[in-house]
Structure formats: structure tokens, C-alpha cells
Amino acid sequence: MDSWERKYLRKLQITDAGVVVWSVAGAFGVRFGFADIVINDNLYVALAVALAVAWWLMLGFWGTREPRILGAGPEEYKRVFAASGWLFGFVAVISYAVRIDVARGFVGLAFPAGVIGLLVARWLLRQHLSLDRKNGRSTSRVLIIGSPHSAVHLVRSLRSQPAAGYLPAAVHLPGSVATTGQANELDIPVSAGDASVEAILQVIEATGVDAVAISSGAPLSPADLRRLGWELAARDIGMILAPALTDIAGPRIHTQPVAGLPLIHVSTPKLTGGRKVAKRTFDILIASVVLLMLSPLFVLLAALVKSTSYGPTFYSQERVGLRGTTFRMLKFRSMKINADAELQVLLEQQGSGDRPLFKVQNDPRITRVGQFLRKYSLDELPQLLNVLGGSMSLVGPRPQREGEVALYDDDAHRRLYVSPGMSGLWQVSGRSNLTWEQSIRLDLYYVENWSLMNDVVILFKTFKAVFASTGAV
């Protein structure tokens, strides 16, 4: 275990202990009070102490502090919730089996307070860890082993997610010849040569890495991989296998051991039946509540648009939606009249008329009020009406024009598998700062790995992106 891992583990242990004690003691005080407690005669004091200790131990037993799940992804939060839920479920079963009359108010306060406190504390610690990792600290230095193309892809993928904690330190191309071009492209040491385990171990010793990631295309036999795993375990170096699966999230991946082989099953993404109903119900409920809450703001923004520039309050434009059907998308007008007629000329002037992402830099058509509306995405609020009408969703791929869709390649058409969204991964990952390739990859990732929980997470991140006005135009 690296030094940063030991320090972070201690932080987690101390933080978990503090939250658990706070929630249990708080629930005890609210339910029973502290004034007239006689410790020797009060079984609930012993129960509270036992519950706090068991809760802290359960978090460790359930693997909530394993280094590989820290810093990125939902697994850490899932384990915290599961460990807490199983513990309190066990307490309920035991109290029923041995007929112990546990006060429901005590348990009913301790459980939600503790779970929320633990999740918030883990989130705060994760923010600090992510900042450390973005600055090159608290990371595991990784040696990438594979073919030239797969190694380049893996290096770029790991660099795109520094919060995951894997820092590419070197690349080894067994059975290949390292070129200067590869070294310049990766900007890290690149070696090549023998594919034997001994040669790989020499590279590992020379680079001093903490982990080895073996990508697809590595010319290593099953026997060599097994032997390499033994050697790495003896040196306390992690071993990571990176299959040739891209943009596939955890819920779609299932591992099944068959004859000693870890077969990876990838399920087909589906947004039908109950999943489709759940997403639509979620859209209607949230859009209705938000629309009701923001109705005074709608009136104010409509008055600002109407009083500061000539033209209608709202702007509607035909966009392409689910399965290629078209709909009229609503916005508060943020441009001068007949702005669409000038679009092609402006795109040609900036040399982007042949790209499927029609964005004009320093757009002269935007009004002064429109600049404010766009900075905080207030111009998009009328799209809540599109959501209620069913032509859009709260979360989904970016809605685009027919001219943009006409420039799609075969892969990009996959984004039309779900309804376009008011927000999406593109919004919380940079908005207009993204290139077309980045935008389409995020949209495809969303389509391939949809879940209702991901929608909730994206909506929370949307508020942060909007208030920070990241990538606004």
C-alpha cells in the first residue's frame, strides 16, 4: 500500500468514526435525552455503543475503504449505503428473533442521519482527493503494456480521468519496435522488445511503477499472464487488465468464471418497458415541480427579452429528436431577428461549415440580454414545456438541427436512440468548450449506459456547471 493510500485510509477511518458517533449519539439524545441517564441501568447506552462500533467495523468489512474504488465512480457510495443497510437490517432481524424491544425512533433517526452524513463526508474527502490527483499527487504510477494502438488509447483514457488516480508513467510494447513518433505522441517513456516475463519485469524495475495495466493486443500467453501476476503480487504491484471495451459502464458488464477463465458478458442497452416508463415519469414529475417553482422567473425573463430588443419573446427551432423525428424546441429569444439567415455565412467565415456542430464563436447575433441568458442557460428554461410534451427529456443527448444530423456518421446516429435532453453529459463536461468528437462520445456513452440514477447525478452536476457558466456561449 502506497503512503498516500495509508494516509487516506486513516482519514476515512477517523471521518467514519466521527460521523457514526455523531449520528448514533444524536439519535440517542433526541429519542431519550442525556440528562437522567444512569449508564449501569440503561441497556440503550450499551446498544448505542455496540451499534456505533459495529457500524464502523461494517464499513471496513464491506470494502468501503478499498483504494481502487476511491476518487471516482459510484461504487464507494453504493458500498457505504449497502453496509449501513445490511447492518440495520441485521439489527432489526435480531431484535425480532430474540424479542428485544428496540425503540423505532432511535433506529429511525440514526440510520438516515448516519447514511447522509457518511455520504456527504465521503463526497467532501473525494473532492480533496480529486484536487490532489489533478495536481499529480495521490496517484498510482502505471506501466501500460500492449500493442501501439491499444497502449495509446489506454494512456489517453487514463489521462482524461485523473480523478481515478491512475497516472501513466511508461509504455512497454512487447514484440514491437518503439518509434520516436510514439514517444512524442505519448510524452512518456516508451520501450519495446522481448515479450518474455523476464523482460517485462526488468522494465517494471526500471520504471518503479505501482501498477501494471495490460491492454488488448499484448502478445502474452495465458501462462505468461499467470506467471506475471504471481511476480507482481510478490512485489506488491497491482495488475490491471484492460479489455478492448470502450465506453461501457459497470452495470452492463458481468463477469462469469468458466473453466478458470473470467468471461465478460456485456448486456444490451435497452430503454423500453419499465425503464422507459420510469424515465418518463421522472421527467414529468421534476419538470412540473420546477416549472411551478420558476413561474415568477419566467415572467421576469419574458419581460426582459421583450423590453430590450425587437421581436417575439420566445424562439422556436426545428430539431431532430427520438428516432429521427422532428419537433419545435422552445427557448427565450437571445438573438436578433432573422439570426438563422446569417448562420451559414458566419460558419463559413470561421471555417466550420462542414462540421456537425453549428456553433459560432463570439457570435455577433446575440443580444445583451441574450448573453446573460446564455451564460446561465436561462434561455433554455422554456424547454421544460418540451419535456412535459414528450419531445424532450430532462437528460439526454444534445438536440441538434437537421443540417447537423445530415453530417452524422454511422456511429453518431446511435445518439437518436433516446430523446434529446435539456441537459446531458455534454453539458456537465464542458458544454460549448467540447469538440464534436468529445461531444458525440459523451452522448454515445450516455445512450449505451443509461440509468435513472445517472440522470439524477447529471442533473445535480448541471446546477454546478450552470452556476459556474462553464463553456457557456
Domain ranges of the chain: 3-134, 140-244, 273-468
For 119, phi then psi, to 5°, come to: -65, -40
| pLDDT of 20 over the 70 cut | yes
**Where is average pLDDT lowest: 70-74, 100-104, 389-393?**
100-104
- The average pLDDT across 17-23 equals 93
| pLDDT of 398 over the 60 cut | yes
Percent of the chain whose pLDDT exceeds 90 = 18
Q: What are the DSSP E strand ranges found in 306-406?
A: 314-320, 326-332, 393-395
**Where is average pLDDT lowest: 62-66, 193-197, 330-334, 371-375?**
193-197
Residue 414's closest CA among 382, 444, 376, 452?
A: 444
Residue 438's closest CA among 357, 322, 358, 377?
A: 357
| pLDDT of 184 over the 70 cut | no
Angstrom distances, CA of residue 323 to CA of 149, 280, 282, 319, 383: 34, 16, 21, 12, 19
The pLDDT score that the predictor gives to residue 323 is: 85
**Where is average pLDDT lowest: 291-295, 321-325, 355-359?**
355-359
- Number of Cα atoms under 13 Å in the Cβ half of residue 315: 20
The pLDDT score that the predictor gives to residue 61 is: 92
The pLDDT score that the predictor gives to residue 342 is: 64
**Where is average pLDDT lowest: 138-147, 362-371, 430-439?**
430-439
| pLDDT of 266 over the 70 cut | no
Residue 464's closest CA among 421, 430, 438?
A: 430
Contacts 24+ apart (CB under 8 A), 462-471: 462/423, 462/427, 462/428, 464/428, 465/427, 465/428, 465/431, 466/376, 466/377, 467/376, 469/375, 469/376, 470/430, 470/431, 470/433, 471/430, 471/431, 471/432, 471/433, 471/434
Q: How does residue 62 score in pLDDT terms, banded at 50, 70 and 90?
A: very high
- The average pLDDT across 43-65 equals 87
Distance between CA atoms of residues 174 and 220, nearest Å? 8
Contact indicator for 395, 421 with CB cutoff of 8 Å = yes
Residue 447's closest CA among 400, 415, 419?
A: 415
Higher pLDDT, 425 or 37: 425
- The average pLDDT across 119-139 equals 88
Q: What is the pTM (predicted TM-score) of this model?
A: 0.65
What single-letter DSSP state applies at residue 335? B
Place domain 140-244 in its CATH homologous superfamily.
Answer: NAD(P)-binding Rossmann-like Domain (3.40.50.720)
